[in-house]
Chains A and B, each alone.
Chain A
Protein backbone atom coordinates (compact mmCIF):
# COMPACT_ATOMS: atom_id res chain seq x y z
CA UNK A 1 0.00 0.00 0.00
CA UNK A 2 1.14 3.50 -0.73
CA UNK A 3 1.98 5.92 2.05
CA UNK A 4 3.59 9.32 2.52
CA UNK A 5 5.67 10.68 5.37
CA UNK A 6 6.42 14.35 5.77
CA UNK A 7 9.33 15.00 8.08
CA UNK A 8 8.79 18.05 10.25
CA UNK A 9 5.30 19.26 11.06
CA UNK A 10 6.56 22.85 11.36
CA UNK A 11 9.32 24.57 9.43
CA UNK A 12 10.35 28.15 10.09
CA UNK A 13 12.56 30.17 7.74
CA UNK A 14 13.50 33.80 7.35
CA UNK A 15 12.27 35.76 4.37
CA UNK A 16 14.73 35.25 1.52
CA UNK A 17 16.08 31.97 2.91
CA UNK A 18 15.93 28.57 1.26
CA UNK A 19 12.76 26.55 1.81
CA UNK A 20 13.10 22.76 2.10
CA UNK A 21 10.07 20.61 2.93
CA UNK A 22 10.70 16.89 3.12
CA UNK A 23 8.54 14.09 1.76
CA UNK A 24 9.24 10.36 1.60
CA UNK A 25 6.88 7.94 -0.05
CA UNK A 26 6.27 4.23 -0.08
CA UNK A 27 4.88 2.68 -3.24
CA UNK A 28 5.05 -0.74 -4.83
CA UNK A 29 4.58 0.72 -8.30
CA UNK A 30 6.03 3.80 -10.00
CA UNK A 31 4.24 6.59 -8.21
CA UNK A 32 2.52 9.76 -9.24
CA UNK A 33 3.47 12.35 -6.62
CA UNK A 34 2.00 15.74 -5.85
CA UNK A 35 2.63 18.76 -3.66
CA UNK A 36 -0.37 20.85 -2.65
CA UNK A 37 -0.55 24.11 -0.68
CA UNK A 38 -3.42 25.08 1.60
CA UNK A 39 -4.07 28.56 2.95
CA UNK A 40 -6.27 28.96 6.05
CA UNK A 41 -9.88 27.92 5.52
CA UNK A 42 -9.32 27.18 1.85
CA UNK A 43 -9.08 24.13 -0.34
CA UNK A 44 -5.89 22.68 -1.75
CA UNK A 45 -4.01 24.18 -4.67
CA UNK A 46 -1.64 22.09 -6.76
CA UNK A 47 1.97 23.31 -6.67
CA UNK A 48 3.53 20.62 -8.84
CA UNK A 49 3.35 16.96 -9.82
CA UNK A 50 5.70 14.15 -10.78
CA UNK A 51 4.41 11.81 -13.46
CA UNK A 52 7.52 9.82 -14.44
CA UNK A 53 8.86 12.33 -16.92
CA UNK A 54 11.67 14.62 -15.74
CA UNK A 55 12.86 13.94 -12.20
CA UNK A 56 13.21 17.66 -11.46
CA UNK A 57 9.77 19.18 -11.53
CA UNK A 58 9.09 22.89 -11.60
CA UNK A 59 5.85 24.25 -10.23
CA UNK A 60 4.10 27.49 -9.52
CA UNK A 61 5.35 30.34 -7.34
CA UNK A 62 9.01 29.36 -7.79
CA UNK A 63 8.72 25.94 -6.14
CA UNK A 64 10.37 22.82 -7.45
CA UNK A 65 10.79 19.22 -6.34
CA UNK A 66 13.17 16.42 -7.23
CA UNK A 67 12.07 12.79 -7.48
CA UNK A 68 14.78 10.46 -6.14
CA UNK A 69 13.80 6.84 -6.56
CA UNK A 70 16.80 5.51 -4.65
CA UNK A 71 15.84 7.58 -1.62
CA UNK A 72 12.06 7.30 -2.17
CA UNK A 73 11.93 11.05 -1.69
CA UNK A 74 10.18 14.00 -3.31
CA UNK A 75 11.38 17.03 -1.36
CA UNK A 76 9.98 20.49 -2.12
CA UNK A 77 12.32 23.47 -2.38
CA UNK A 78 12.24 27.17 -3.11
CA UNK A 79 15.44 29.24 -3.29
CA UNK A 80 14.06 32.33 -1.57
CA UNK A 81 11.06 32.40 0.76
CA UNK A 82 8.42 35.12 0.57
CA UNK A 83 6.04 36.08 3.34
CA UNK A 84 3.19 34.93 1.10
CA UNK A 85 4.57 31.36 1.15
CA UNK A 86 3.42 30.90 4.75
CA UNK A 87 0.85 28.11 4.53
CA UNK A 88 0.30 24.38 5.04
CA UNK A 89 1.98 22.09 2.51
CA UNK A 90 0.92 18.54 1.73
CA UNK A 91 2.72 15.82 -0.17
CA UNK A 92 0.52 13.13 -1.73
CA UNK A 93 0.80 9.93 -3.74
CA UNK A 94 -1.83 8.70 -6.16
CA UNK A 95 -3.06 5.23 -5.27
CA UNK A 96 -4.61 2.44 -7.26
CA UNK A 97 -6.91 2.44 -10.23
CA UNK A 98 -9.16 5.09 -8.71
CA UNK A 99 -6.32 7.56 -8.39
CA UNK A 100 -7.33 8.51 -4.86
CA UNK A 101 -4.70 10.59 -3.09
CA UNK A 102 -2.88 9.45 0.03
CA UNK A 103 -1.65 12.54 1.88
CA UNK A 104 1.09 13.14 4.36
CA UNK A 105 0.39 14.85 7.68
CA UNK A 106 1.36 18.23 6.31
CA UNK A 107 4.06 20.75 7.10
CA UNK A 108 3.29 24.25 8.29
CA UNK A 109 5.69 26.75 6.80
CA UNK A 110 6.29 29.92 8.80
CA UNK A 111 8.18 32.78 7.15
CA UNK A 112 9.74 35.33 9.47
CA UNK A 113 10.49 38.88 8.36
Chain B
Protein backbone atom coordinates (compact mmCIF):
# COMPACT_ATOMS: atom_id res chain seq x y z
CA UNK B 1 0.00 0.00 0.00
CA UNK B 2 2.03 2.93 -1.28
CA UNK B 3 -0.49 5.64 -0.42
CA UNK B 4 -2.02 8.39 -2.52
CA UNK B 5 0.48 10.41 -4.55
CA UNK B 6 0.07 13.78 -6.20
CA UNK B 7 2.18 15.56 -8.76
CA UNK B 8 3.46 18.22 -8.78
CA UNK B 9 3.74 19.15 -5.12
CA UNK B 10 4.08 22.82 -5.96
CA UNK B 11 3.07 24.83 -9.01
CA UNK B 12 3.62 28.52 -9.63
CA UNK B 13 1.94 29.96 -12.67
CA UNK B 14 0.93 33.27 -14.14
CA UNK B 15 -2.66 34.40 -14.33
CA UNK B 16 -4.32 33.17 -17.48
CA UNK B 17 -2.20 30.04 -17.88
CA UNK B 18 -3.58 26.52 -17.78
CA UNK B 19 -2.39 24.00 -15.21
CA UNK B 20 -2.93 20.28 -14.74
CA UNK B 21 -2.50 18.21 -11.60
CA UNK B 22 -2.28 14.46 -11.31
CA UNK B 23 -3.44 12.13 -8.55
CA UNK B 24 -2.58 8.44 -8.24
CA UNK B 25 -4.89 6.75 -5.73
CA UNK B 26 -4.25 3.61 -3.72
CA UNK B 27 -4.47 0.87 -6.31
CA UNK B 28 -7.56 -1.03 -5.17
CA UNK B 29 -9.58 2.10 -4.30
CA UNK B 30 -12.47 2.74 -6.66
CA UNK B 31 -13.53 6.08 -5.14
CA UNK B 32 -11.54 9.26 -5.77
CA UNK B 33 -12.16 12.78 -4.49
CA UNK B 34 -10.69 16.21 -5.15
CA UNK B 35 -10.79 18.93 -2.48
CA UNK B 36 -9.53 22.50 -2.39
CA UNK B 37 -8.10 24.08 0.74
CA UNK B 38 -7.40 27.78 1.07
CA UNK B 39 -5.25 29.26 3.81
CA UNK B 40 -6.76 28.91 7.24
CA UNK B 41 -9.78 26.95 6.04
CA UNK B 42 -10.88 23.34 5.99
CA UNK B 43 -10.83 21.43 2.72
CA UNK B 44 -13.86 21.91 0.46
CA UNK B 45 -15.20 19.18 -1.79
CA UNK B 46 -14.75 19.71 -5.53
CA UNK B 47 -15.62 16.47 -7.31
CA UNK B 48 -16.03 12.72 -6.91
CA UNK B 49 -15.33 9.73 -9.15
CA UNK B 50 -16.48 6.18 -8.75
CA UNK B 51 -14.21 4.20 -11.05
CA UNK B 52 -14.11 6.29 -14.24
CA UNK B 53 -17.50 7.96 -13.75
CA UNK B 54 -17.63 11.51 -12.39
CA UNK B 55 -20.73 11.30 -10.21
CA UNK B 56 -20.74 14.60 -8.35
CA UNK B 57 -19.36 18.09 -8.89
CA UNK B 58 -19.49 20.96 -6.45
CA UNK B 59 -20.79 24.37 -7.44
CA UNK B 60 -17.26 25.51 -6.56
CA UNK B 61 -16.10 23.74 -9.71
CA UNK B 62 -16.55 26.46 -12.33
CA UNK B 63 -16.44 25.68 -16.02
CA UNK B 64 -12.72 26.55 -16.01
CA UNK B 65 -12.16 23.38 -13.99
CA UNK B 66 -12.30 19.91 -15.47
CA UNK B 67 -11.42 16.56 -13.98
CA UNK B 68 -11.00 13.15 -15.52
CA UNK B 69 -10.27 9.64 -14.37
CA UNK B 70 -9.64 7.55 -17.45
CA UNK B 71 -9.90 3.81 -16.91
CA UNK B 72 -10.69 4.37 -13.26
CA UNK B 73 -7.05 4.67 -12.24
CA UNK B 74 -5.22 8.01 -11.91
CA UNK B 75 -7.07 11.29 -12.12
CA UNK B 76 -6.22 14.72 -13.48
CA UNK B 77 -7.58 18.11 -12.50
CA UNK B 78 -7.14 20.89 -15.03
CA UNK B 79 -7.69 24.58 -14.42
CA UNK B 80 -7.93 26.76 -17.50
CA UNK B 81 -7.24 30.51 -17.56
CA UNK B 82 -6.08 30.52 -13.94
CA UNK B 83 -7.05 33.40 -11.67
CA UNK B 84 -5.39 34.59 -8.47
CA UNK B 85 -8.37 33.25 -6.55
CA UNK B 86 -7.44 29.74 -7.67
CA UNK B 87 -4.37 29.84 -5.43
CA UNK B 88 -4.89 27.03 -2.93
CA UNK B 89 -3.85 23.54 -1.92
CA UNK B 90 -5.53 20.91 -4.07
CA UNK B 91 -5.96 17.63 -2.22
CA UNK B 92 -6.81 14.25 -3.64
CA UNK B 93 -8.23 11.38 -1.59
CA UNK B 94 -9.24 7.83 -2.35
CA UNK B 95 -11.28 5.15 -0.62
CA UNK B 96 -12.81 1.73 -1.04
CA UNK B 97 -16.56 1.53 -1.29
CA UNK B 98 -17.13 0.59 2.35
CA UNK B 99 -19.80 1.69 4.77
CA UNK B 100 -17.63 4.22 6.57
CA UNK B 101 -15.85 5.42 3.43
CA UNK B 102 -12.57 6.16 5.18
CA UNK B 103 -10.60 8.42 2.86
CA UNK B 104 -6.83 8.45 2.46
CA UNK B 105 -5.32 11.76 1.43
CA UNK B 106 -2.37 12.59 -0.75
CA UNK B 107 0.18 15.29 0.17
CA UNK B 108 -1.54 17.88 -2.00
CA UNK B 109 -0.51 20.23 -4.79
CA UNK B 110 0.02 23.83 -3.75
CA UNK B 111 -0.91 26.22 -6.55
CA UNK B 112 0.23 29.82 -6.56
CA UNK B 113 -1.17 32.07 -9.28
CA UNK B 114 0.81 35.29 -9.75
Contact = CB atoms under 8 A, between A and B. Distances in A.
A84 interface: no
A51 interface: yes
A106 to B, nearest CB: 5
Interface in A27-56: 32, 34, 36, 41-46, 49, 51
Contact of A49 (B6, B102, B108): B102
A105 interface: yes
Contacts of B93: 44, 101
Contacts, number: 67
A51 B99 contact: yes
A57 B93 CA distance: 23
Interface in B6-61: 6, 31, 33, 35, 40-45, 48, 50, 55-56
Interface residues of B, number: 29
B43 A103 contact: yes
B63 interface: no
B43 A100 contact: no
A48 to B, nearest CB: 10
B100 A103 contact: no
A103 B44 contact: yes
Contacts of A101: 33, 35, 43, 45, 93, 103
Given A42-B107, A106-B41, A100 B33 contact: yes
A61 interface: no
A70 interface: no
A103 B105 contact: no
Q: Which 7 A-B pairs have the closest CB atoms?
A: A103-B42, A99-B101, A43-B105, A51-B100, A44-B105, A100-B45, A43-B107
Interface of B: 4, 6, 31, 33, 35, 40-45, 48, 50, 55-56, 91, 93, 95, 99-108, 110
13 contacts: A32-B99, A36-B105, A42-B108, A43-B108, A44-B91, A44-B105, A92-B42, A94-B100, A98-B55, A98-B56, A100-B56, A101-B45, A105-B42
